[in-house]
Amino acid sequence: MTSTTAVARTAGVVRRMTARRRDEEHRASTPLELFFDLCFVVAVAQGGARLVHALAEGHPGTGIIGYLFVFWGVWWAWMNFTWFASAYDCDDVPYRVATLVQISGVLIYAAGVPRAFTENDWTVAVIGYLVMRLALTAQWLRAAVTEEAGSAARRTAVRYAVGVAVCQAAWVALLAAPTDSRRWLFLVVMVAEMLVPVVAERSQETPWHPHHIEERYGLFTLIVLGETMSAATVAVQSALDEHEALGRLLPVAGGGVLIVFTAWWIYFAAPVHERLVSDRQAIPWGYGHFVIFASAAAIGAGLEVAVEYAVGAAHISARAAGAAVVVPAAVFLLTVWLLHARHFKRGLAQQALLPVAAVAVVCCVFAGEWAVPAAGLVSAVTVAVGVTLSARSAVAGGPEGTPEARQPGGAAHGAKEARGE
Alpha carbon separation from 408 to 85, 337, 400 (Å, rounded): 29, 14, 11
Specify the range with the lowest mean pLDDT, choosing from 8-12, 67-71, 302-306. 8-12
* Confidence band, pLDDT 50/70/90 cuts, at residue 317: very high
Please state, for a pLDDT cut of 90, what percent of the chain lies above it: 59
| In the predicted structure, residue 330 carries a pLDDT above the cut 90 | yes
pLDDT value of position 421: 37
- Distance (Å, whole) CA 389 – CA 152: 47
| In the predicted structure, residue 403 carries a pLDDT above the cut 50 | no
| In the predicted structure, residue 209 carries a pLDDT above the cut 90 | yes
- Distance (Å, whole) CA 246 – CA 107: 36
pLDDT value of position 374: 96
pLDDT value of position 244: 66
Q: What is the pLDDT averaged over residues 51-56?
A: 92
Q: Identity (one letter) of the amino acid at 5?
A: T
**What does the mean pLDDT of the chain come to?**
86
- Distance (Å, whole) CA 208 – CA 25: 13
3-state secondary structure of 30: coil
Which pTM does this prediction carry?
A: 0.87
| In the predicted structure, residue 411 carries a pLDDT above the cut 70 | no
Q: What is the pLDDT averaged over residues 33-58?
A: 91
* Confidence band, pLDDT 50/70/90 cuts, at residue 15: confident
Higher pLDDT among residues 229 and 8, named by residue: 229
Per-residue model confidence as pLDDT tens digits over 266-284 = 999 888 888 888 888 899 9
Domain 210-418, what architecture? Up-down Bundle (1.20)
Q: What is the pLDDT averaged over residues 379-387?
A: 94
3-state secondary structure of 271: coil
pLDDT value of position 234: 78
Per-residue model confidence as pLDDT tens digits over 99-109 = 999 999 999 99
- Distance (Å, whole) CA 142 – CA 148: 12
Q: 91 and 12 in contact (C-beta within 8 Å)?
A: no
* Confidence band, pLDDT 50/70/90 cuts, at residue 262: very high
Helices 31-56 and 210-242, axial angle in degrees (round to 10)? 40
* Confidence band, pLDDT 50/70/90 cuts, at residue 4: very low
pLDDT value of position 66: 92
pLDDT value of position 299: 95
- Distance (Å, whole) CA 331 – CA 22: 32
| In the predicted structure, residue 232 carries a pLDDT above the cut 50 | yes
Domain ranges within the chain, ordered by starting residue: 27-200, 210-418
pLDDT value of position 12: 59
Per-residue model confidence as pLDDT tens digits over 108-165 = 999 999 999 988 889 999 999 999 999 999 999 999 998 888 889 999 999 999 999 9
pLDDT value of position 400: 47
DSSP string, 328-369: HHHHHHHHHHHHTGGGG--HHHHHHHHHHHHHHHHHGGGGGG
* Confidence band, pLDDT 50/70/90 cuts, at residue 414: very low
In degrees to the nearest 10, what's the CA dihedral of 327, 331, 332, 334? 140
| In the predicted structure, residue 9 carries a pLDDT above the cut 60 | no
Please state, for a pLDDT cut of 70, what percent of the chain lies above it: 90
Closest CA to 261 of 324, 329, 214: 329
> Which positions ≥6 away from 280 have C-beta within 8 Å?
420
Q: What is the pLDDT averaged over residues 189-207?
A: 93
Burial class (CB in 10 A: 0-12, 13-18, 19+), 276: buried
